[in-house]
Amino acid sequence: MPYVVRDSSGKISGVLEHSEVAVAEEMAADDPELKRFLVEQGLSSPDTARQVLAESDLKMIRLVDDLIDLMIDKDVIKFTDLPPAAGEKYLQRQVARKRLQIIVSEDDIL
C-alpha cells in the first residue's frame, strides 16, 4: 500500500512507497483521492509514470555529472576517490559530452 503526505490544507502533496516520513499516511492504492492526485501529477498509468521517471533519470544523470565536476573542481573529492567502475563511466560520459559539444550547443547535451 502506498503512503501519502498531505499539505497544510489536507490535500495530498506526495506519495511514498514506504512510510519514510513520520507524517505519511497509509492509503489504499485504489483510493479515489489518490487516483485523482496521480492524474493531476500526470501519472495516471504505469506507462506514463515510467515515462516521467525515464525523463527524470536523464536529467538526474546530467545533474550527477555536473555535481562530480563541481566537487572535483573545488577539491572536495579527487577523481581517484571514485570507485573504479564509477570513474570509468564518468570518463566515458565526459568524452562523449566533449565530442558532442563540437556538434551541438551545451544546452542540448544530456
With a cut of 80, say whether residue 110 has pLDDT above it: no
86-110 burial string, b = 16+ CB within 10 Å, else e? eeeebeebeeeeeeeeeeeeeeebe
Looking at the fold, whether 17 and 55 belong to one and the same domain comes out as: no
Higher pLDDT, 32 or 102: 32
Domain that holds residue 102: 47-108
With a cut of 80, say whether residue 21 has pLDDT above it: no
Band (81; pLDDT cuts 50, 70, 90):
very high
Q: How many domains are there within the chain? A: 2
Looking at the fold, whether 63 and 28 belong to one and the same domain comes out as: no
Query: In the prediction, which pLDDT does 50 show?
Result: 76
Looking at the fold, whether 66 and 103 belong to one and the same domain comes out as: yes
Looking at the fold, whether 39 and 52 belong to one and the same domain comes out as: no
Looking at the fold, whether 39 and 63 belong to one and the same domain comes out as: no
Q: What is the pTM of this model?
A: 0.52
Q: CA 64, CA 8: separation in Å to the nearest integer? A: 32
What is the overall mean pLDDT for the chain? 85
Looking at the fold, whether 87 and 74 belong to one and the same domain comes out as: yes
Q: CA 25, CA 11: separation in Å to the nearest integer? A: 12
- CA angle in degrees (0–180, nearest 5) for 44-48-52: 120
Mean pLDDT of 12-22: 78
Query: In the prediction, which pLDDT does 109 show?
Result: 52
Phi, psi of 7, rounded to the nearest 5 degrees: -85, -175
